[in-house]
Amino acid sequence: MEMFIYGLGAGLIIACIVAFALSLKIGRINDEKNKEVQKYKNMLADRMELEADGLRKVKEENEELKKQNENLRVSLLALRDKPGRKEMQRLQILQKAADRLTINSPGFGPVWQAALKESEDEFQKVYSGFIPFIKRHIPKPTDAEVVDVQERVDS
């Protein structure tokens, strides 16, 4: 029986050593798993932070583009109502009236074409350097009156 007890004791000691070695191995595996899980958590947190920053930047850019769009819309409306716009409309109205007079009045056409040619020549001289520098920047006064279209329609 003594042999049995020695055998049993030796078997228990070996079993304890094996159990202790397995528990150490399992502990190392659990530590590795915990480290890997922590690594994935950190990666996920970093990715979520980057995506949140990217989304925030996209929203800020979107808001900036909306502001620019509104500013451009307002600028476009302001440019449409600029003083030069009314003068261009007036010029187009006068051109149509001159064209109608040229067609409908037999004596008006040649006189109008001569006056137009003289005005074009004078304009070309101003911008080609024949007329002094001062005359280029100070227009000659004319006897013509600028008549507002709305006043003509009302009367």
> Could you read off the pLDDT of 13-60 as tens digits, one per residue?
999 999 999 999 999 999 999 999 999 999 999 999 999 999 999 999
What's the count of helices (H) and strands (E) in the chain, helices before strands? 5, 0
> Could you read off the pLDDT of 93-149 as tens digits, one per residue?
888 887 777 777 777 777 777 777 887 777 677 666 655 555 555 656 555 555 554
Rounded distance, CA 22 to CA 16, Å? 10
Q: Could you identify the residue written with the tokens 């005359």?
A: 135
Q: Mean pLDDT lowest for which of 5-9, 62-66, 75-79?
A: 75-79
- Report long-range pairs for 4-9 (Cβ below 8 Å, ≥24 apart): none
Q: Could you identify the residue written with the tokens 């070695």?
A: 21
Q: Domain-by-domain residue ranges, the chain?
A: 1-81, 84-139+148-154
DSSP class of residue 129 equals T
Rounded distance, CA 34 to CA 27, Å? 10
Residue 64, token pair as written in the block: 């900036």
pTM of the predicted structure, to 2 decimals: 0.39
